[in-house]
Amino acid sequence: MSTNREVPAQYGDVRQCIRAAKANMDEVRQLLSRGSVDSVELCASTLREIEVQLGCAVAILRAGGASHPSPETRSMLEDLQREAAMLAQLFAEADKLFTGWLRTIQTKRAGYTGRGQAAPLQLVGRMSLEG
């Protein structure tokens, strides 16, 4: 699966970083709607790139001596940071949920409870082996 991630070779200004981060955030939204393993992996790498782009924007602002960016720029950066943080937390919580779920299934299949004790014996009524 190929992706056209917008990653300028060199970030010249804050707006360029923000445009690239917004384009990548749109891509993450599209990938999440597909619901495949490949999409999730691409989302994770794209979120890392968004993090780099936002970091570059902040570094450019600081290097330029702009301790207070325009309200519009500040609002765009904060919105992107909030959305990226929310998606990162979503992935982390989903990973915890699925890991715990798989551990529970594996434990029950192995004949033990979640605390490591032997699972209660379940007696089977009558069985018929007629074919």
pTM: 0.64
The more confident residue out of 52 and 7 is 52
| Contact (CB, 8 A) for 31 and 39 | yes
Q: pLDDT for 20-70, tens place per residue?
A: 999 999 999 898 888 787 888 888 889 889 988 988 888 888 877 666 778
Q: pLDDT for 68-78, tens place per residue?
A: 778 888 899 88
CA 85 – CA 117 distance, rounded (Å): 39
